Amino acid sequence: MKTRLTLWLALLTLMLAVAACGGAADPPSPTTAAPPVKAQATTIPPAAAATAEPVAAQAPAAASACEDYFGFCVTAEATGAVNATGAGGWASSSNTDCTALTAPGAARILELPNLLPAGEQPIAVALTRIGAYTGPGTYVLAATASGGAMPDMFPAVRIGSRAFQGGADTTATVTVNADGSGALATRNLVEMDAMQGATPDPGARLDFAMQWTCQGQK
C-alpha cells in the first residue's frame, strides 16, 4: 500500500512537471520591420542626356541647271502619244545678252531656244518662234499672219523615232520674261512622217511643255 502511494505521488509529480514545462508557450518576440528604403533619383550626366532641341536638316547644295558656257538652260516634258522628259543647254553664253534679247521694241522675230538629244535625253525641239515679238509678255502662237507680219511657228518635236508638229487643232502659248527666261505650253501636236522612223499615227496627239532660263554672257 505504501509502495503504491509512493508510486502515485511520483507519477503526480511527473505530470505536474510536464504541465509546467508544456504550458503556455512563450510569446514570440516582436519582429522589428525593416525601415523602408528611400528611392534614390538617378541623375543622367549631361553628356548622356538627350537634347530637346531638334537638329536642323542640311539642305543639299543647289545644282546648276546646265553648264555655264551655255546661253540657255532648257527643260522639256512630253505627254500623250509619247511620255518623255529632257534637259540640256543651248547656244553659247558668250554671244547671249539676255536683257537685250527680250527688250521691248518694234515687232521682230524671236527664235525660242532649241533642245538637242544627248545621251539619255531623248527629246529634240526646233523651229519654235514668235513672228511679231514686241517685248516681254505672253503670246498665243498662230500659224498664219496678216498685214505682212511673219507667222509664228509651232515647235517641231522629235522623241526617239517619232516626230510631231503643229496641226489644225494645235494650240501654243509662249511667255517671255525680261531676264530672258520663258515657258512654252503646246497642246495637240500631230505626228508627222519621220525619216527612218515609225509610220505616223493620224490619231496620235502630243502635249509638250518647255521652260528655259538665260545665263547671258560671262
Of 209, 217, 206, give the one whose Cα is nearest residue 75: 209
- The answer to whether the CB of 131 falls within 8 A of the CB of 144 is no
Model confidence over 202-214: pLDDT tens digits? Answer: 999 999 999 999 9
pLDDT at 166: 97
- The answer to whether the CB of 58 falls within 8 A of the CB of 81 is no
Surface-to-core class of residue 4, CB atoms within 10 Å of its CB (0-12 exposed, 13-18 middle, 19+ buried): exposed
pLDDT at 96: 85
User: In the chain, helix, strand, coil percent, each to 5?
Assistant: 10, 35, 55
Q: Mean pLDDT over all residues of the chain?
A: 77
The set of cell numbers assigned to 132 is 511679231
- The answer to whether the CB of 154 falls within 8 A of the CB of 170 is yes
- The answer to whether the CB of 148 falls within 8 A of the CB of 116 is no
Model confidence over 49-58: pLDDT tens digits? Answer: 333 333 333 3
Model confidence over 94-153: pLDDT tens digits? Answer: 878 999 999 999 999 999 999 999 878 899 999 999 999 999 999 999 999 888 889 999
Separation CA 92–CA 79 (nearest Å): 29
